[in-house]
């Protein structure tokens, strides 16, 4: 047998051995009682094993991957979710949102790692920030269903960073829940709140996810945006953004979160607008009925 034939035989034996391992693992999980869990595990195992076999994953690379994921977990705490950041940076969060987007509703996008539950409820038109946080901006619009019917009592959970590019949980100089607030629509489905014009900011690179950016030569800037979770009883909630049409990173957002329909003009306030704001944005949100 020539060296070439011997090498081919060794590769074939390795492939057979790998396939046997995958088959044994799949068989071990085949009895999972929950149908959906069995489906997810079967697909995960198949793709994970396929990835390792296709790339010829080495023991050293496998261990480095585990150490990386361990470091990601160790970076998580009550205020920072490095696993969500990793999911965002790999585009998985954006893919899941796109896959589950309800037809006809406002497009959804990533939640991001800086969401905090428990934001204070505020009155319509009230401000969520401070004068030093940025250029005063009025955001207003309506929440409706797909037929244009107003949704009274819909909730808008809003949050964003300050003009220094930091969220309150990153910045000890900001008070708790700064630039965060929950607003409830009126009888006409209308809402309004005052905030600041958003700015681009770098996603955190002081943790393991920062290594991904450095090794792949990618920039780590997010397109300027205001976060919103819009919900109403009997309707499917939408996690979305309000993007600034004038921002340079709309075409290269670090977490692949920009959708064309979510880009809006932050127009300079005119004579007919409130005198205490520099910019005005008109944004409507559409929800679809809950499923099940």
Give the integer Cα–Cα distance in Å for 183 and 270.
25
Q: For the CA atoms of the chain, what is the radius of gyration?
A: 24
Check: CB of residue 180 under 8 Å from CB of residue 149. no
The residue with tokens 């005052």 is 194
Using DSSP, state whether 235 is helix, strand or coil. Answer: strand
| Cα 292 to Cα 290: distance, rounded to the nearest angstrom | 6
Nearest to 184 by CA among 233, 114, 239: 233
pLDDT of 27-83, one tens digit each?
999 999 999 999 999 999 999 999 999 999 999 999 999 999 999 999 999 878 999
Model pLDDT, residue 16 = 74
Tell how far CA 114 is from the center of its chain: 10
Q: How far apart are CA 120 and CA 125, in angstroms?
A: 14
Break the chain into its structural domains and give their ranges.
3-57, 84-287
Q: For residue 165, what pLDDT band results from cuts at 50, 70 and 90?
A: very high
Q: Which fold has domain 84-287?
A: Protocatechuate 3,4-Dioxygenase, subunit A (2.60.130)
| pLDDT of the residue at 80 | 85
What residues are paired with 282 via a beta bridge?
140
Interacting residues of 74 by C-beta distance below 8 A, sequence separation 6+:
none
- Residues 6 or more apart whose CB falls under 8 angstroms from that of 58 comprise none
- For residue 65, what is the DSSP state? H
How many Å apart are CA 254 and CA 202, to the nearest integer? Answer: 8
Global pTM value = 0.86
The string of DSSP codes covering 114-130 is: T--S-PPB--TT-BSS-
Residue 9, pLDDT > 70, answer no
Question: How far, in whole angstroms, is CA 94 from its chain's centroid?
Answer: 6
Token code pair at residue 260: 């064309």
Q: Tokens in use for 48?
A: 């994970």
Q: At 238, is the pLDDT very low, low, confident or very high (cuts 50, 70, 90)?
A: very high
Tokens of 76: 């998580």
- Number of alpha carbons in the 13 Å side-chain half-sphere of residue 188: 8
DSSP character string of 132-163: GGSSEEEEEEEEEETT--B-TT-EEEEE---T
Residues 255 and 86 sit within 8 Å (Cβ to Cβ)? no
Residues 181 and 193 sit within 8 Å (Cβ to Cβ)? yes
Higher pLDDT, 152 or 4: 152
The partner residues of 137 in beta bridges, in order of sequence, read 195, 279
Tokens of 278: 């520099």
Q: What pLDDT score does 237 carry?
A: 95
CA 159, CA 178: separation in Å to the nearest integer?
8
Average pLDDT, the chain: 94
Cross-strand partners of 145? 287
Question: Interior CA angle at 241 toward 106 and 93, to 5°?
Answer: 90
* Residues ≥6 apart with Cβ < 8 Å to 239: 97, 108, 109, 110, 111, 227, 228, 229
């Amino acid at each position: 047998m020539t060296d070439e034939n011997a090498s081919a035989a060794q590769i074939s034996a390795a492939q057979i051995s790998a396939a046997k391992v995958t088959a044994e693992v799949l068989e071990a999980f085949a009895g999972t009682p929950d149908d959906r869990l069995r489906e997810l595990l079967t697909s995960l195992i198949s793709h994970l094993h396929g990835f390792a076999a296709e790339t010829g994953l080495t023991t050293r690379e496998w261990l480095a991957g585990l150490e990386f994921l361990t470091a990601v977990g160790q970076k998580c705490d009550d205020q920072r979710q490095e696993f969500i950041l990793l999911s965002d940076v790999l585009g998985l969060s954006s893919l899941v949102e796109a896959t589950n987007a309800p037809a006809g509703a406002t497009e959804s996008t990533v939640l991001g790692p800086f969401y905090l539950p428990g934001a204070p409820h505020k009155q319509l038109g009230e401000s969520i920030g401070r004068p030093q946080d940025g250029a005063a901006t009025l955001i207003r619009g309506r929440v409706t269903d797909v037929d244009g019917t107003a949704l009274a009592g819909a909730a808008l959970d809003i949050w964003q960073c300050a003009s220094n590019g930091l969220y309150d949980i990153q910045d000890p100089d900001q008070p708790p829940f700064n630039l965060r607030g929950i607003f409830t629509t009126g009888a006409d489905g209308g809402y309004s709140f005052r905030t600041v014009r958003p700015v681009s900011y770098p996603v955190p690179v002081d943790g393991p996810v920062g290594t991904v950016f450095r090794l792949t030569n990618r920039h780590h800037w997010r397109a300027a945006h205001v976060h919103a979770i819009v919900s109403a009883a009997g309707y499917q909630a939408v996690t979305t953004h309000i993007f600034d049409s004038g921002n340079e990173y709309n075409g290269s957002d670090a977490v692949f979160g920009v959708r064309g329909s979510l880009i809006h003009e932050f127009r300079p306030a005119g004579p007919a607008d409130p005198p205490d704001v520099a910019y005005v944005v008109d944004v409507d949100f559409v929800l679809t009925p809950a499923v099940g």
